[in-house]
Amino acid sequence: MDKTSRIKELVRLLNEASKAYYQQDTEIMSNFQYDTLYDELVSLEKETGLILSNSPTVKVGYEVISELPKEAHPSPMLSLDKTKDVDALKDWLKDKKGVLSWKMDGLTVVLTYVDGELVKAVTRGNGEIGEVITNNAKVFANLPRGIAYKGQLTIRGEAVITYTEFERINATIIDAESKYKNPRNLCSGTVRQLNNEITANRNVSFFAFNMLDCGDERIDASLNSKFEFLSGLGFEVVEHMDCDASTVADAVKAFADKISTNDFPSDGLVLSFDDIAYGRSLGRTAKFPRNAIAFKWADEEAETILRQVEWSPSRTGLINPVAIFDSVSLEGTMVSRASIHNVSICKQLQLGIGDTIKVYKANMIIPQISENLTKSGSLEIPCTCPACGGVTILQNENDIETLYCPNQDCPAKSIKLFSHFVSRNAMNIDGLSEATLAKFIDLGYLVDLYDLYRLDRYKEDIVNLDGFGIKSYDNMIKAIDQSRNTDLVRLIHGLGILNVGHATAKLIVKHFDYDIEEIISAETDEFAQIEGIGQVIAENIVAYFKDSNNIRVLRELLKELTFIKEEKNMEQDLEGKTFVITGSLNSFANRDELKQLIEDRGGKVAGSVSAKTSYLINNDVASSSSKNKKAKSLGVPIISEEDFLNL
């Protein structure tokens, strides 16, 4: 492949990885792989002089895609140049004083206070335009709502969720597939919630790492003085340490020694010039400011032998590859397993059993394979499912290959399905762990979901099982019986229909007015017209209800359950109308409050303007926002809150 073609290929691969990481909160390649490809791209661009307009070396992030309002930053938030070489930090500092601090791994947020009150919070977004998350920032666990400062203050920092909170939240999620992969993904989704009650319950913390000039020469002179000023106002600032060229290596080591005991995620360090004026005088490149540089840990790698790839089936049928290798010591702990994510990565690494591989801990925490020295490429992708022996299939979506088991009777699917069915947001049956469910399935007590409600047939057998007794049995039956009086949303969610979570189940049930027979018989177009349900999900739902076995199980479940229909206390005068809400509100505390009122009165709230929209609610009726323009082009009326209340 010539150098030009390689540049194009690298740009494509890196942009796909960035899109997956920043927009979809998932990973399709390791940090190590990304950095290796990025460095190769930088080298080729310097050598050839060819820099593509969409190269990640000149772009900053991706456009945000949520329904949150968007706003431009007063000055661009650029990425930092990076190095893994401590000596490079010495050369960078020269004779200047530096400040070394954590590079926290969460979501960057810009806060604006006016006369002591938090008036705005915006995410970093693509560096130029971010998402407005003010209501969520107001419930960050450690953030001052009011400060003793008159005038305007703009503060930059990182919103993070600690490992302790991450583990606590994951512990409440029974379904293993639904658990969050890492604190960064959890934080990203939490900070961008439309309901800030969810944010409040997840204890997001904010650590300030800089602020725009406030107009006081003494405070604005140095980074240290800004840190001191912010601390005095009640903000938690990122941990930092003074250094110069002679002490920066010791400072890096001091931070590294703390990683194993840190409760917050980090992905490196940031070295900044303490002298603000000097740093600013250096200017910036197209992508990087010159007043700071990021230090990425030179990952501790170890060579080992790949002994096995374990293929682990899930409820959806996805079979995940996990590398098993000879134990090695990494960052102070013994490691023998690492996720490989998907079949594509197995092929990229050219894995084979017995190969000599290099492994490391991404961000000194998550074990991953960095390189395959042997590259035998002899790994066999299983033709049969390790749980049921059924024939597997390879699926290719967006050039990413994954392995699936299509067998609906696969026992692995069965265990995961039962676990999902009894989970809190589904039928909410306490006391049935995955281990207990697996035991009952193995013993033949549970075959179909409705068997949960007929376990009393095995009372004598169950009370005599190890770990069980009459008290355990009675508590289990009591929890099962309590779940018999439920609502249809919980049942639809619990059935395990692909891509139908609790929120989607609620949309379905409300659309069909709590009529299960209407849901069963509906066609794809009827589901697809529900706001928030696209064509793919609609097809999944219809396919589920077309399956005769699924209908058989559902009919038996319906014999065991009594549904409580949500009462409509308000006049349904907005029935058949669809609203879109944008801009700030005056009469309502937040958009969720207005949305709830619309839904209580029979209306619907959508995230974007379309031909189906009845009204766009925007207090700035004359604004030139994209939603206003779209509404005008479609002839959709734009009304204020006052207009809405007068409807």
Q: Which residues are catalytic?
A: 103
Query: Looking at beta carbons, which pairs linking 84-88 to residues 24 or more positions away fall under 8 Å?
Result: 84/295, 84/296, 84/297, 84/298, 85/298, 86/248, 86/249, 86/252, 86/295
Rounded Cα–Cα distance for residues 47 and 79 (Å):
23
DSSP strand E in 223-287: where?
240-243, 266-273
Are 589 and 595 spatial neighbours (Cβ–Cβ below 8 Å)? no
Closest of 108, 105, 104, 97 to residue 251, by C-alpha: 97
| CA neighbor of 494 nearest in space, from 397, 589, 561, 423 | 423
Residues 332 and 124: their CA atoms lie apart, in Å, by 34
Are 266 and 102 within 8 A, CB to CB? yes
H-type alpha helices, 282-354: 343-348
Q: Is 367 helix (H, G, I), strand (E, B) or coil?
A: strand
Instruction: Give burial (CB, 10 Å; 0-12/13-18/19+) of 104.
Output: buried
- Both tokens of residue 50? 């060819």
401 forms beta bridges with 396
Q: From CA 473, how far away is CA 9, in angstroms rounded?
A: 60
Length of the chain: 647
Q: What does the DSSP assignment read for 37-84?
A: HHHHHHHHHHHH----TT-TTT--S----SSS-EEE-SS--PPPPEES
Please state, in angstroms and rounded to a whole number, the distance separating the CA atoms of residues 154 and 114.
9
